[in-house]
Each structure stands twice: as structure tokens, then as C-alpha cells.
Amino acid sequence: MIFSPLQHRHIAIAENHLHEQFVLKIVDRDELDFLNYLSDPQMLSDPRNHIVPFSHVTGIGYGKSIIAMPKLLPLDNIPLYSLQTAQCYNLLCQIVEGFTFLHEHGVAHMDLKSANIVIDTSLERLYIIDFGLAHKVNGPEDTLFGFRGTELWVAPEIDDDDYACGLLAS
């Protein structure tokens, strides 16, 4: 097995004896619980479920596990200008469909960004990854407090107190 760490300190690429590449990721218990919940056979039978398939869970102690996922193309690495309009439309519909599915099942991802969306090599099927910040919500009355997400991807009304105060004052 070949093993090469990536820029992210919890992710590496591995290759088996058949030269198939896959991603290894260290996840905490909460993220693994979300992945298991969304990977229930009944959930997976719904075509709107865009969770990345994973396998081979190995516990490593301290509430951490290693999961293996197929190596897919990060949306960040695809030059969007190279896609046909129909492909862009298809991918956008799948993003909306995938997050609608999560919300219908009480999952708030909390870190929507292009780095957390991967696509198969045919550019046909899109997957959502990284449930490390996800929260279970029971309905619109549930409220989460504190900063969540990646700073550059957070809406200005969430991150900027002056922006929020200006909206309230108007």
C-alpha cells in the first residue's frame, strides 16, 4: 500500500495492490455518527442522498476512526469554464438536491463550500463530504450559537457584527 499525506492534516491518499486510489480520513465520533446515519441502506436508496460512499472504518482510539473513501475530483480542481452549460446545471441541481435531502433529515452541514463537494470522474455524480462541523437539528426552532464554517465562506450577516447591526437599524 502506498500512502501519501495531503495538505489537510487529517487526510491522505492510499493505493492498494490493484493500484486503486482512495482517500483516508481521520474522523471524530460525531462525524462518523453522521456518516453512519446517512449511509443507512434506506437513506442510501434515496437518489437525492449525495453523501460520499465510505468503507473500512478502523478505530484508532480517543474517539477517532479512519475511514476510506473513493478518490474523487474536488470541485475546486475542476475549471468550471471547461464544463458545458448542461453539466453546470446538473451539478448545481445536485448540490441543491443534496443539501435539501440533508435538511429534510435533520442534518445541518454547517460548512458548505466547494472544497466539500467532490465529483466522480465522469462529472455526472456529485458528493458532499466533510461532516466535521455538522449538527443534528429537530426543526426550525433549533438554534445554533457561535461561529461555524470556514471564515471566507460565511455569509457577511453571520460574520460581521456591523453588517448585522446595520440591517437591524434600518
Domain that holds residue 76: 2-169
Domain count, the chain: 1
Q: Residue 132: CA atoms inside 13 Å, Cβ hemisphere, count?
A: 12
pLDDT digits (tens, 9 = 90+) for 73-125: 888 888 888 889 999 999 999 999 999 999 999 999 988 888 899 999 888 89
Higher per-residue confidence, 95 vs 12: 95
CA-to-CA distance for 146 and 161, rounded, in angstroms? 13
CATH number of the domain to which 69 belongs: 1.10.510.10
Q: Name the pTM for this structure.
A: 0.80
Residues belonging to the active site? 111
